[in-house]
Amino acid sequence: MSTITRFAPSPTGSLHLGGARTALFNYIYAKSNNGLFKLRIEDTDKIRHQSDSINSIIDGLNWLNIKYDDKIIFQSKNQKEHLNAANNMISKGIAYRCYHDELEIEKIKKTKKKFQSEWRHKHNNFPKNKKYCIRIKSPESGNTEINDKIQGKVSVQNKEIDDYIIVRSDGSPTFLLSSAVDDHLMSITDIIRGDDHLTNSFRQMLIFKSLNYKPKFSHIPLIHNQNNQKLSKRDNALSILEYKKLGFLPECLINYLLRMGWSYGDKEFFSISEAIKLFRIEKIGKSPSMLDEKKLHFLNNHFIKESNNTDIFNTIKSINEDNQNKKFPIDEELVLNLIEIYKQRANTLLEIIEPILLIFTSKNNYESDQKKTLKDSEYLKDTIINEFTSIDDWNEYIITEKIEILLNKFDLNFKRIGQPLRLLITGKINGPSITKIMDLLGKDKVLNKIMKNW
């Protein structure tokens, strides 16, 4: 049978790192086995369901280049199949109708460690016109065992699994039922999800058995925050599309997510096609992965430096217009040359956008310490302007030579002239070689910036 995996998010928010990593591992595992990767939206909870979330999830996957096969499955459209499965389980004696109200349930829970309804063994004399839920008839003894490709052989005693609800009293199926039936309907061969679903997998085994369905399991350790705690909404983790807006490249995020649990020898960087060739799900570690911002910036810097300048130019134009609704400078040749300089140190594309916009700003805004730097060196202004005005053949070599003349004339180190020049021309006190930038901008632009901003 061909390998088929799936990613099944609930549309209750944006696509975040944990979900994106689950999708990525499902995608790469399927493709490494020449199989299919499918997307299912678990939208049965209409109260929490947000239509904007669906678009955000799809946009996030597309940006990461995680391509799903076939059409998207919407779980809500399969509800009839879910209920049919529940009724079939009742007829097989695997599930039963429970007529207890909330007060009765609370009383039973106080006296029994494993919840079992008093309706578990009743086959007749059901009350008329009273709402009921449908519960699984969990085994009372023995073990339930899973051979997991990541966790190994894991088991739980059946006495730990209560008679959980598969259909609510309002007639709606629960996640445990819907998810299991949908996986069966989609012919999913491998269920790959976070290890926080391991308990769910144990519970669903009886449903799988009733469907004569035997998927394979891989439970991925969760992502932890820097305090080694499970990543949660309290950590304000960014969504995938927020990483895009902040100037991270999809190649960076793919590598970052891959390396959160999986590795291949000492290899540091992967394209998706390389990962597909090399991936073995059994090589995913059993320990939680930790967020590492330094690693994220290191990877992004690498892929920025490896990127074509024209591609970066098109991307930063798009990011800038999305974030600030401003048009990017139209002097494309100059911008491309500036990108080549600024991308060497940039950890994000925003670190390229900001300085380039400042360079093209005619009048700079300075902080108090920057104003002091300019004031302290104001006595150099006329001499600097005269020296640069005298240059006929404007190039980096001649510019450097003129600065050396000024340094010797006023007995200064480079910082005393380099910093004010960088402030005047780029709006920043630190940055890449100011002589390279001056060479690219040209004589007229440089003199204009100096005279307007000093």
Q: What is the pLDDT of residues 366-376, one digit of tens each?
A: 999 999 999 99
DSSP state, residue 194: E
* DSSP SS3 for 134: strand
Report the CATH number of the 368-453 domain: 1.10.10.350
Residues of the chain short of pLDDT 50, as ranges, are none
The residues spanned by each domain of the chain are 78-220, 247-331, 368-453
DSSP state, residue 5: E
Alpha-carbon distance 251 to 304, whole Å? 9
Domain 78-220 bears CATH identifier 3.90.1300.10: no
Which amino acid is located at 252 in the chain? C
Which residue in 193, 196, 291 sits closest to 237, CA to CA?
Answer: 291
Q: DSSP letters along 154-171, please?
A: EEEEGGGS---EEE-TTS
Q: DSSP letters along 13-67, please?
A: S--BHHHHHHHHHHHHHHHHTT-EEEEEE----TTT--HHHHHHHHHHHHHTT-P
Please report where in the chains the tokens 């240059």 appear, as a residue: 391
- pLDDT at position 420 is 95
- pLDDT at position 237 is 73
Q: In the structure encoding, which two tokens stand for residue 117, read together?
A: 């309804």
Best CATH choice for the domain 247-331 from the list 3.90.1150.10, 2.60.40.1220, 3.40.50.620, 1.10.1160.10: 1.10.1160.10
- pLDDT at position 324 is 63
Task: Return the HEC string of 215-247.
Answer: CEEEEECCEECCCCCECCHHHCCCEHHHHHHCC
- pLDDT at position 325 is 59
Which residue in 149, 94, 91, 96 sits closest to 122, CA to CA?
Answer: 96
Q: What is the pLDDT of residues 29-61, one digit of tens each?
A: 999 999 999 999 999 876 665 778 999 999 999
Alpha-carbon distance 138 to 161, whole Å? 7
Q: What is the pLDDT of residues 401-441, one digit of tens each?
A: 999 999 999 999 999 999 999 999 999 999 999 999 999 99
List 219's β-bridge partners, or say none: 193
Length of the chain: 454
- pLDDT at position 338 is 96
Is 337 in contact with 311 (CB distance < 8 Å)? no
pTM over 0.85: yes
List % helix, strand, coil for the chain (3-state, nearest 5).
50, 10, 35
Q: In the structure encoding, which two tokens stand for residue 151, read together?
A: 């966790």
